[in-house]
Amino acid sequence: MFSYLFSPMKLRGLELKNRIIMPAMGTKFPKDNEVTEQLIQYHVDRAKGGSGLNMVEVTGVHQPSVPGIYPSLGEDRFIPGMKRLTDAIHEAGGKAGVQLWQGSIAVAAHQGIQVIVASDLELAPGYVVKGADKALIDELTTCYGKAAHRAVEAGYDCVEVHMAHNYILHSFLSPAINKRTDEYGGTFENRARFPLAVIESIRKNIPDDMPLFMRIDAQDDYLENGMTIEDVIAFCKLAKEAGVDVLDISRGNIISAGIKFEVPPIDLPRAFNIENAARIRRETGMVTMGVGRINDPELADRLLQEDKLDLVGIGRAQLADPEFCNKSKEGRLDDIVRCVGCNQGCYDACESHVIPHITCLRNPALGKENEYRISKTKKPKTVLIAGGGMAGMEAADVLYARGHHPVLCEASDRLGGQFLLAGEAPRKLEMKLAAMSKGEQITRRGVDVRLNAPVTPALIEELKPDVVINAIGALPIIPPIPGINLPHVKNSHEILGGKASVEGNVVVIGGGLVGLETAEYLSDKGCKVTVVEMLEGLGTDLGTTRKVCVMENLYMEGVTQMPNCKCLEITGDGVVVDNGGEKQTIPCDYVVAAVGVHSADFSAEEALCKEKGIPVYTIGDAEKPRRAIDATADAARIAREI
């Protein structure tokens, strides 16, 4: 199946079994720049899953400027660890590449790490980092070459030079960032001088039969006087002459709203960057890899069939399902656990200083590949699961795989819970489809699923389960605002669930994720929407990339935003607010409350279980309202403990 996607390809001396590349993605699995068992198993599972080539994440070439959470080839001492990684990937039937990188301002948040910039840059008031001098440029050029040589010694099949995303080489190349006036700045030829020297240094330090990839942005988004696609094409032609074989066409930067393109969230359409890649491929004549929310094998195969690409970067889809490639090749499309572009476990985790490493809402075993291997139970139990949302379904799936007998009871007529509601918001259909797919998967596997079946004390008496899992989720908070019970006041669940409709001028109370998505939903239906939020900012519970997209769309649709504004009272024809200390009335036809949720009541059921000695586990929003990723993580952990 998918004959284009699963056709072999030869790049110099490297033979790939298919056209799927797992692109380099930050994990935070390395420790003190060393390869860990966690990183090895992560790659091994994807190699066994059928990936044609695993590209190891941004790997430092210049040791003083490499934070400890990234792998490094900046010194010889890292070769043995890298060799263990490549050996493991090869043993699993895969091929291994490594992405050579110097992070420039991306490392600025890490204490004790050297920050290198193309030209003088004020990172904080009074703190200016001087642009790299000629000696440092020469040092970095040499470092790239030495790192490439170490990559060869470590057993890599290819290397990739990172020329995008504000990292040092992109910073020199882009006139939006490079403000130098010497031979490394100003004209296109000058700005290309250092990047081309790096390419030549790498090429001299790897065998003739080893392919060299180059990741580069298709253009500079949101950067005034940045690189155009024509500039990129011109540079790619020079890079080809210098020894680059394969173009990896990315997009985005970390200093503007263009960050949304770097790790594109669900808000961006699938394959949004492919026409750029196709044009660059056509005008350079180079082997080209395209990336950008390609999480569907049919789409990937079609892009190859239409002769737009030679290789397809499929990254987060392989995080969500390490068997993505094998399932696609075998035609088991209904069994694929699909990435939904939520970015909660991947990009948001990399950006966080609290979350230790990446994980995945759809795949809580990511980063715990060995620890979370499914092991059969020796004492099968009947486990009653109350609630068929994402947490309840995840628990049922794991329990069934382990040999238990889960009975999944959902009070409504369909599985999916709040993921179904989330999928009603603009641009989030994939979440709804994912919830529906998960329900179909567990039903097809044989899980005992019961709809229109709320868990009650009577049901517990009847089933006599060995264990009960409370996954009933949460209900909308009804804020104690005078007038909240007036007939023209609704809540976000009613709106997104299709149980209530509004029109005309609408005030949404609450500027968090649900409130903003409800505002967008209503705006799309022709309502004139005002969002009232008591905090100083809107969307504070949104990750960076999703927030950029949501806020841009609110602006484009003309939704009025009123942060630092407290709702005092709801009247028959308006909402009275305290707007920065000034009392005013916002006229409206309807009001929608979207101020959050509270855990649903399960106290009677818990009391009966306690009386009968039945263990009760509470997961997801039923324990404490949190993000969806926390709910599936709870479920995966508890289902392995039972």
pLDDT in tens, 16-38: 999 999 999 999 999 999 999 99
Per-residue DSSP letter, 600: P
- For domain 489-595, the question of CATH label 3.40.50.1370 is answered with no
SS (H, E, C) 306-348: CCCCCEEECCHHHHHCCCHHHHHHCCCHHHCCCCCCCCCCCHH
At 354 the pLDDT is: 84
Q: How far is CA 332 from the centre of its chain?
A: 24
CB 591 within 8 A of CB 506: yes
* pLDDT at residue 1 is higher than 90: no
User: How many angstroms separate the Cα of 384 from the Cα of each of 460, 471, 476, 635?
Assistant: 8, 10, 25, 13
* pLDDT at residue 353 is higher than 90: no
Share of the chain above pLDDT 70, in %: 100
Q: Which residues are identified as catalytic?
A: 167
At 507 the pLDDT is: 98
Nearest Cα neighbor of 540 from 511, 580, 579 is 511
The Cα angle at residue 332 between residues 330 and 336, in degrees rounded to 5:
120
What is this structure's pTM? 0.96
Instruction: Give the pLDDT confidence of 433-482 residue by residue, as tens digits.
Output: 999 999 999 999 999 999 999 999 999 999 999 999 999 999 999 999 99
Domain ranges across the chain? 9-103+133-351, 382-476+599-641, 489-595
Taking the CB of residue 251, how many other CB atoms lie within 10 A of it? 24
- Rounded (10°) angle between helices 229-242 and 274-284: 50
State the pLDDT confidence band at 580, using cuts at 50, 70 and 90: confident
Averaged pLDDT for residues 119-128: 91
CB 355 within 8 A of CB 349: yes
Instruction: Give the pLDDT confidence of 360-389 residue by residue, as tens digits.
Output: 999 999 999 999 999 999 999 999 999 999
* pLDDT at residue 227 is higher than 90: yes
Share of the chain above pLDDT 90, in %: 97
* pLDDT at residue 352 is higher than 90: no
Superfamily of domain 9-103+133-351 in CATH is: Aldolase class I (3.20.20.70)
* pLDDT at residue 124 is higher than 90: no
* pLDDT at residue 58 is higher than 90: yes
SS3 429: helix
At 123 the pLDDT is: 84
Superfamily of domain 382-476+599-641 in CATH is: NAD(P)-binding Rossmann-like Domain (3.40.50.720)
* pLDDT at residue 508 is higher than 90: yes
Q: Please provide the average confidence, as pLDDT, over all residues in the chain.
A: 97
Instruction: Give the pLDDT confidence of 477-500 residue by residue, as tens digits.
Output: 999 999 999 999 999 999 999 999
At 587 the pLDDT is: 97
Nearest Cα neighbor of 212 from 187, 233, 230, 195 is 195
At 393 the pLDDT is: 98
